[in-house]
Amino acid sequence: MGRLLSALLAWPGVLRRRSASGGDPQSGMAMVLSMSVAFVVFTLGAVWIGLGTHQITATGREKLREQARNVAEAGLNVAMSRLTADATFSGVGLTAMAGGEFEVTVLPVSLDPDDTRRYIVSKGYAPTKANPNRQARRLEQQIELTYNDGFRYALFSAPGGITGANYMTVNGDVYASGDLTLANNSTVTGSVTSLGSVTTANNTTIAGDVHAADNVTLDNPSTTVLGNVYAGGSVTMTGHVKGNVQAGGTISGGTVDGSRSQNSPPAPPAGQTLPTFDWAPYVDGTESTWLSPAQFQTYWSANRLAFSGAHRITCTLTCATIDFGSQWRLTGDTTIYADGPISLSKDIANSAGHAVTLTIVSDATDTPSTPAISMSNNVTLPDNINVVFFAPNGTVKFSQLKHFTGTVYAKEIALSQQFTLTFRPVARPGFDFGLTTSSHYGITAGSFKEVPFS
């Protein structure tokens, strides 16, 4: 191209010399040709300048679009940061930052006041919203708040593990300091975390991630993990992982839609402990203290059709089992704290006209035949009773069909067939989770999406 231009630019001089030397009769044509060449040169120059200007403009516009997206993403991060301290945070107006401006709106996902899901809409502008040549991007993301200073898991065991049974459903996250075993046809709609190993059986579905400090075994081709699998040990599977698999050991078998990274240890899951429980917040003059299980049992039998309040049951020598063996009705929030074991084997109704919380706490240690807390005989509780089972020194054991809403925290947990638990975050006095920061909530965030916006 450089040589062509040089030749074209040299032509007028050549033609002038030829015209001056001889008065060639075609000298007039030389002038025409000279002007034509000049016109072509200048036209090409104008085209090149136009192309260059367009390219610069397009590059500038694309740069602004990228800035607007980055600013919108910063808005998402600001919203999540604010939500960790304040669940009622609803957004922020136009805010300037390096590269542009953003504005954020936070919306509840449902009308249920206990629903901790939020939908974040973040709009980013570059260089500013008011600039007539601005570029705008809109990002949306759904997140869920998890309580750092409250019950965050549907099932939580420490320092022991969790054993499952057939047709178990847990709508929430599961944590076990020991090994975690899921039986046939188990479903967990959240994540599964274990400081030991995780083992599944036939037709198991886990909607979130699987984190294990040791090995992970995903049995049966019909077993599916919709998230990722992280194992400090090896991963052995005939099942299907929709996300990625990362292991400190080997990865064998199964189907993985994402990547396989073996001999690449992931960060181990964080160790957690049970909260502590203190009766002191309930000592306000309205609580009831019973000097034996028998004394409490007599009171409960006489008042079981309209029962509520805070009840402390002590025992001096023999801690007999407190047996809720008949149907009973709650008229308000109820807390039962016993030194000995507690058994529930009949349905519980809610007569309060609004949601209530039933808190069952047992300090008992297991015997060969009696766990700290047991629930049996097809007990079903309405969804407007939020249950907290807490057994720091023993097992919470379920037998036969169960359905209830709430959370279970214990040294160990033993589940039964047809068990169904829907997690409901509750805040009850007396429980200390050792909060040491100003962050009251954790964030479980899905991937964000971009919505066309200008």
Mean pLDDT of the chain: 86
Is 387 domain-assigned?
A: yes
Q: What pLDDT was estimated at residue 149? A: 64
Quick one: which H or E segment has residue 315? none
pLDDT one-digit tens code per residue, 8-51? 445 455 445 544 444 455 556 767 676 777 676 667 666 666 55
pLDDT one-digit tens code per residue, 293-325? 999 999 999 999 999 999 999 998 778 999 999
Per DSSP, the three-state class of 454 is coil
Q: What pLDDT was estimated at residue 4? A: 42
> 337 and 239: one domain?
no
**CA–CA dist 51, 332 (Å, integer):** 76
> 123 and 255: one domain?
no
Q: What pLDDT was estimated at residue 251? A: 96
Contacts of 307 (CB under 8 A, 6+ apart): 300, 328, 329, 330, 331, 334
Determine if the pTM surpasses 0.75.
no
Mean pLDDT of 168-172: 92
> 326 and 250: one domain?
no
Is 30 domain-assigned?
A: no
Mean pLDDT of 225-247: 94
**Of 242, 271, 300, which residue constitutes the final position of a domain?**
271
> 342 and 378: one domain?
yes
Predicted confidence band of residue 375 (pLDDT cuts 50, 70, 90): very high
> 281 and 353: one domain?
yes
DSSP state of 267: P
Is 256 domain-assigned?
A: yes
> 188 and 95: one domain?
no
> 404 and 277: one domain?
yes
**CA–CA dist 408, 55 (Å, integer):** 62
Is 57 domain-assigned?
A: no
Is 423 domain-assigned?
A: yes
Enter the tokens of residue 421: 């638990």
Is 228 domain-assigned?
A: yes
> 285 and 402: one domain?
yes
Is 358 domain-assigned?
A: yes
Do the strands 441-445 and 117-126 form a parallel or antiparallel pair, or are they unpaired?
unpaired
Q: Are 208 and 227 in contact (CB under 8 A)?
A: yes
Q: Could you tell me the residue range of the domain that residue 119 belongs to?
A: 81-149+438-454
Mean pLDDT of 62-67: 89
**Of 271, 287, 305, which residue constitutes the final position of a domain?**
271
Q: Counting beta carbons within 10 angstroms of the beta carbon of residue 150, is it exposed (0 to 12), middle (13 to 18) or buried (19 or more)? A: middle
Predicted confidence band of residue 151 (pLDDT cuts 50, 70, 90): confident
Query: Is residue 434 pLDDT above 90, yes or no?
Result: no
Query: Is residue 268 pLDDT above 60, yes or no?
Result: yes
Q: What pLDDT was estimated at residue 15? A: 45
Per DSSP, the three-state class of 104 is strand
- By C-alpha distance, which of 148, 193, 147, 149 is closest to 170? 193
Enter the tokens of residue 304: 């079981």
**Of 238, 271, 304, which residue constitutes the final position of a domain?**
271
Question: How many domains are there within the chain?
Answer: 3
**CA–CA dist 413, 159 (Å, integer):** 11
Contacts of 39 (CB under 8 A, 6+ apart): none
Query: Is residue 214 pLDDT above 70, yes or no?
Result: yes
**CA–CA dist 265, 344 (Å, integer):** 43
Between 180-189, 209-218, 262-271, 293-302, the lowest mean confidence (pLDDT) is in 262-271
The half-sphere exposure of 213 on its side-chain side, counting CA atoms within 13 A, is: 14
> 201 and 330: one domain?
no
β-bridge mates for residue 338, sequence order: 313, 362
> 202 and 309: one domain?
no
Q: Are 309 and 212 in contact (CB under 8 A)?
A: no
φ and ψ at residue 151, rounded to 5 degrees: -75, 120
> 426 and 277: one domain?
yes
Q: What pLDDT was estimated at residue 436? A: 46
pLDDT one-digit tens code per residue, 84-113? 878 889 999 999 988 899 999 999 998 887
Quick one: which H or E segment has residue 123? strand 117-126
pLDDT one-digit tens code per residue, 271-297? 888 999 999 999 999 999 999 999 999
**CA–CA dist 11, 8 (Å, integer):** 5
Q: What pLDDT was estimated at residue 152? A: 85
> 341 and 309: one domain?
yes
Is 173 domain-assigned?
A: no
Which residue is listed with tokens 């047992």? 362
